[in-house]
Amino acid sequence: MVYVMRAAIYCRISQDRAGAGLGVARQEEDCRVLCERKGWIVVEVYPDNDVSAYSGAPRPAWSRLLADVRDGNVDAIVGWHVDRLTRSPRELEDVIDLADKFGVELATVTGDVDLSTPTGRLVARMLGAAARHEAEHKAERQKRQRRQSAEAGKVAGGGHRPFGYEADRVTIIPDEAEIIRECVRRVLAMESLASIVRDLTERGITTTAGNSFKVTSLRQLLCRARISGRREHTPRSNWETTRPIIGDIVADAVWPGIINPEESDRVRAILTDPDRLTRQPGRVNSYLLTGLLICHCNARLVGRPRSGVPRYVCSNAPGYDSCGKTATNTKRTDDYIRDLVIVALDSPEFIALLRSQQALGSEASDAIKDDEQELEDLARDWAHKKITRREWMAVRVIIEQRLERNRAAEARESRRNVLRGFIGTLEEMYARWERMNVSQRRAVLNAALISVKVNPADPKKRWDPDRFVPEWIA
């Protein structure tokens, strides 16, 4: 009885459509012709469509094929070319090991490779090395093309259209653009993203994918330089683990901006400020002074009701390094701190302070633009081989550290900007306060105060305002 070889056909095509432009279906057709000519029976076809053999991304069909070889279900692997199987020398060695251990044969439409002989294995390794070399060069070419496209301000990206723009990614959609402008105004007024997201959800406003906005997705939208008509680009080599929230701005874009660059820079500074108070996405804190009140033991007071009455307390729960002995009525404390801040904002001294800080904030904005231009010039010098990679990395670290400090200074100034839209006469400020939600009120307090220390209360007094010691902004 003649033994018939059991062949497994592996087909793969990546986004670059390599392999003579052949699709998976065409590869399979040619491989079946080869198997018929050899008298082999095709037991299964293993297709990995749109998956690169160089990128390191999982290839489910390839993994399943190797498992079937180990289980003795396959006698021969058939592909269109060696580089359709793998462009990784390490993976090729796995195939060679399987051929040595299980006697599996390797055949391709472009020519057989005898893995049972030293010469055949040498040929396979040479073909694999050549494929790897071409893949690496292709990756470098694509990287340069992406950089050049970014520096030309061209449209990029696939998937869903960007919010605010039509499918051509250039034409502005007026209704969505106005929503972006509204969100920008609210962020500049220091309203929390959680508060804005909740409002957008209640109004039925969704992303272009049809999903409700989340804190993360709204932050990403508002931090994109795209909405200010600018192109940003951050090479993957500069990522730490995932794509950073903000990239390097490299050019003016070919599409119009929805907001101006100055507004975009301020929003990006606010939303990437490490000092910005964060909490669980989508959760809006109903206690006005949470985060501002500090117990005399240096622990932060938290909002917690007692017998149905809201209070700020120094928690003594497990995990808290605190005294657990301080408490104050929420309503009376909120009103007192509100009055304290509004009266302070009515003073000439505070107005003078705001003006001096505004000048510093303007200097920080100018410094940010200078730093970003220096980074762009530095990258261009490295690309043109005017400096070494070591020199580029050393200088880049210094500029990025300075840029981070300047962005933090700009963020602090942006937090204070909310006061300029709030300050007026006492009557006007109280009226504006009443129209604000909790998040907006917190923004006013955070722009004026660093913290409020809460000392032990005088036991002889039902209400002791002297126990509150505010620490004002510089």
Distance CA 186, CA 196 (A): 8
In a domain, 376, yes or no: no
Tell me how far apart the alpha carbons of residues 16 and 50 are, in angstroms, rounded to a whole number: 9
Determine the residue type at 4: V
- Give me the residues paired with residue 16 across strands: none
pLDDT value of position 74: 92
90 by Cβ neighbours in 10 Å (0-12 / 13-18 / 19+) ranks as exposed
389 found inside a domain: no
Given a contact cutoff of 8 angstroms between Cβ atoms, the answer to whether 292 and 266 are in contact is: no
Q: Are residues 58 and 118 in the same domain?
A: yes
| 34 plus 65 within the same structural domain | yes
List the CATH number of the domain containing 234. Answer: 3.90.1750.20
> Are 448 and 310 part of one and the same domain?
yes
Name which of 326-340, 408-422, 424-438, 441-455 the model is least confident about: 408-422
Among 216, 236, 271, the domain boundary falls at 271
Q: What is the pLDDT of residues 302-342, one digit of tens each?
A: 888 888 889 999 887 666 678 888 999 999 999 999 999 99
Here the CATH number for the domain that contains residue 41 is: 3.40.50.1390
Domain co-membership, 227 together with 354: no
Model confidence over 115-148: pLDDT tens digits?
666 776 777 677 766 666 666 666 667 666 666 6
Q: Tell me: the pLDDT tens digits for 47-91?
A: 887 555 445 567 888 889 999 999 999 999 998 887 767 767 777
How far, in Å, CA of 119 to CA of 96, rounded?
12
Q: Give the sign of the dihedral formed by CA 10, CA 11, CA 13, CA 17.
A: positive
**pLDDT score of 417:** 66
- Mean pLDDT score, 239-256: 72
Q: Residue 360: pLDDT band by 50, 70, 90 thresholds?
A: low
Which own/partner pairs from 399-404 qualify as long-range (CB within 8 Å, at least 24 positions apart)?
Answer: 399/371, 399/374, 399/375, 400/375, 402/367, 402/371, 403/368, 403/371, 403/372, 403/375
Residue 396: pLDDT over 90: no
Whether 374 maps to a domain, the answer reads no
**Residue recorded with tokens 């396959």:** 74
C-alpha–C-alpha distance, residues 143 and 235, integer Å: 8
Would you say residue 199 has pLDDT above 70? Answer: yes
- pLDDT confidence tier of residue 109, bands split at 50, 70 and 90: confident
DSSP for 88-150, please give it.
Answer: -HHHHHHHHHHHHHH--EEEETT--B-TTSHHHHHHHHHHHHHHHHHHHHHHHHHHHHHHHHH
pLDDT surpassing 90 at residue 21: no
Tell me if 455 is assigned to some domain. yes
5 exposure class (CB count in 10 Å sphere: 0-12, 13-18, 19+): middle
Domain assignment of residue 107, yes or no:
yes
In a domain, 447, yes or no: yes
pLDDT for res 19: 42
What is the CA 67 to chain-centroid distance, rounded?
36
Do 15 and 91 lie in one domain? The reply is: yes
Q: How far apart are CA 130 and CA 111, in angstroms?
A: 16
Over residues 455-469, the pLDDT tens digits come to 998 888 889 999 999
The phi, psi pair for 77, rounded to 5°, reads: -105, 130
Do residues 242 and 130 both lie within one domain?
Answer: no
Query: pLDDT tens digits, residue range 35-44?
Result: 999 999 999 9
Are residues 261 and 297 located together in one domain of the fold?
no
Position with higher pLDDT, 10 vs 150: 10
Task: Assess whether pLDDT exceeds 50 at residue 364.
Answer: yes
In a domain, 254, yes or no: yes
Among 233-247, 367-381, 437-451, the range of highest mean pLDDT: 437-451
Better pLDDT: 353 or 236: 353
pTM (2 decimals)?
Answer: 0.50
Asked if 93 and 183 sit in the same domain, the reply is: no
Residue 115's domain comprises 6-139
Q: Is the domain of 440 the same as that of 297? A: yes
Same domain, 133 and 52: yes
Q: What pLDDT is recorded for position 466?
A: 92
The one-letter code for the residue type at 162 is P
DSSP letter (8 states) at residue 165 = B
CA gap 191, 199 in Å, rounded: 12
pLDDT of 201: 93
Number of structural domains, the chain? 3
Query: Looking at the structure, do residues 436 and 334 belong to the same domain, yes or no?
Result: yes
Tell me, yes or no, whether 441 and 301 share the same domain.
yes
- 128, part of any domain: yes
Q: Is 294 helix (H, G, I), strand (E, B) or coil?
A: strand
Higher pLDDT, 229 or 49: 229
Judge contact between 204 and 175, C-beta under 8 A. no
Question: Which pLDDT score, from 0 to 100, does residue 287 have?
Answer: 86
The chain-wide mean pLDDT, for the chain, equals 81
Amino acid code (one letter) for 303:
G
Distance separating alpha carbons of residues 281 and 360, to the nearest angstrom: 32
Spatial contact of 78 and 31, defined as CB atoms under 8 Å apart: yes
pLDDT, residue 294, reads 93
Q: At what angle do helices 193-202 and 438-448 cross, to 10 degrees?
A: 160
Residue 380 has pLDDT above 90, yes or no: no
